[in-house]
Amino acid sequence: MRLLTFCLVFLFAAFTHAAPSIIPQPPVLAASSYILLDANSGEVLVEHNADEVLPPASLTKMMTTFIVTEELAYGNIKEDDRTRISVKAWKAEGSRMFIREGTYVKVGDLLKGVIIQSGNDASIALAEYISGTEEAFVDVMNQYAAQLGMVNTRFKNATGLPAKGHASTARDLSKLAKHIISDHKEYYPLYKEKKFTYNNIEQSNRNLLLFWDPRVDGLKTGHTDEAGFCLVSSAEEDGMRLISVVMGAKSERARARESQKLLTYGFRYFESHKLYDSQETLQNHRVWMGQQDELALGVKDGAYITIPRGQKGNLDVQYSIDDVIKAPVIKGMEYGHMTVSLGDKVLMDKPLIALEAIDEAGFFSRILDYIKLFFYSLFS
């Protein structure tokens, strides 16, 4: 099958080119495991022991709150729903929201108690409200982990309290963070709230970066003696969103300081670009024997890339399209590829799909196109 190839180079202005990029080695952190990625493109910018299986401590609660927001989005529960607090939730060890056994607390308040105050009691209460028992909720957590591609994660509870076999990785947790940010955007602002008061007790968010860096707007802290000090953070600057995961730091301030090193490095030396929207027409191509002569081609999902800062002018985009496209055309069918390169490195390779369906033309129109196509093939 022959392909037609088109080439497009992004230039800021005629007769100019981008300066060569100089990027230093990424910072080496005082932590057991860490990762930094662009939330839009998914490009990993820095990683160290990112697949090492470690206890996640209260980073576990990210899955608890993600499931709660899923249930809210589906309409299965409501923020104003009131859940009765069990003895098990009331007696939860560690960080607490200070809810009382036998009282009724709104789901919305419990969600804030988990996200802002890291309440183990609130986590158990939500787990019991959604699934009946914490044990049943844990099964749901592990099913979601599998769906999200968290291949090295196994949950044993909804809180992150120490339990044999309860483990995750920096890479898996970065995947979860990405879904928390993108899947239910209406709830993500909760993760940047600095304080929450319940039962006349005000508690501050343990994520120090919310107080240090205005770019940071989430996500979750964690700490146990076994896990050390952990932090999943996210920040946005000039349309670029970064996610960092730091596990096994030595102190509360250390996990914030080491996370900020990653974020600063990412924003300083890289930039994120949205090349195309989902279903945006990138090329129009001739269609033979169809009820219309042109077919709109594009990519299924929006195309984002992460590149060294200042290198946009050196991007090279090429389209390879099937030479002959005949009706009927099914929407979503592949008819070529789009590749984006920077120098010798291919940054992206996406299929070009039909953005519309085209039915066959009538008999006489098809005969006429057969004749035209014969001569086109003969001379091309």
Determine if residue 133 is left, alpha or beta; phi over 0 gives left, psi from -120 to 50 gives alpha, anything else beta: beta
Question: For the chain, how many helices (H) and strands (E)?
Answer: 9, 17
- 118: annotated active-site residue: yes
How far apart CA 120 and CA 117 sit, in angstroms, is 9
What is the rounded radius of gyration, in angstroms, for the C-alpha atoms of the chain? 26
How far apart CA 79 and CA 348 sit, in angstroms, is 41
Which residue in 33, 61, 178, 350 is the catalytic one? 61
Which residue in 118, 168, 244, 259 is the catalytic one? 118
- 61: annotated active-site residue: yes
Q: Which of 262, 211, 243 is nearest to 31 (CA)?
A: 262
Are 150 and 168 in contact, with CB atoms under 8 Å apart? yes
Which residue in 33, 41, 58, 233 is the catalytic one? 58
- 58: annotated active-site residue: yes
How far apart CA 169 and CA 173 sit, in angstroms, is 6
Asked if omega into 208 is within 30° of 0 (cis), the reply is no
Q: Which of 26, 36, 29, 121 is nearest to 83 (CA)?
A: 121
Strands (E), the chain: 3-9, 33-38, 44-48, 82-84, 104-106, 195-198, 201-204, 216-224, 228-237, 240-249, 270-276, 283-286, 294-298, 303-308, 315-322, 334-342, 345-354
How far apart CA 52 and CA 58 sit, in angstroms, is 17
For residue 288, what is the DSSP state? B
Question: C-alpha angle with apex 151: 149 to 152, nearest 5 degrees?
Answer: 140
The catalytic site residues sit at: 58, 61, 118
